[in-house]
Amino acid sequence: EVQLQESGPGLVKPSQSLSLTCSVTGYSITSNYWGWIRKFPGNKMEWMGYISYSGSTSYNPSLKSRISITRDTSKNQFFLQLNSVTTEDTATYYCARYLTTRVLAYWGQGTLVTVSS
């Protein structure tokens, strides 16, 4: 059974970079597509981007200048980096595996990241 677990700092200062790790067990990240999604206070959800089985990436246009998704296949992990964060980036961040085209079937438990000085 595939399982995903997010990890990373829960507090980031404005203007710094947010870095999160998604550790995957039970399934190889060299198959399928793997995404990051966030849920803001107030419940709005936003798809951030994905990394594919081959390492190609696609990002939400609204984040394209600030986001990077990378991976380490030897550790079966993929990563999110979001640069120049502001308080508006405060959210619960989820990693997920796609089921089929742009459908997210397996989610991590989520990690709350607060941007505050």
Residue ranges that bind another protein, judged by CB under 8 A: 37, 43-47, 58, 60-61, 94, 99-105, 107-110
Which two tokens mark 88?
């508006």
Q: Are 21 and 7 in contact (CB under 8 A)?
A: yes
Q: Phi then psi for 30, rounded to 5 degrees?
A: -85, 5
Beta bridge partners of 7: 21
Q: Which is nearer to another protein, 17 or 62 (CB)?
A: 62
Of 29 and 59, the one with the shorter C-beta distance to another protein is 59
CB closer to another protein, 54 vs 100: 100
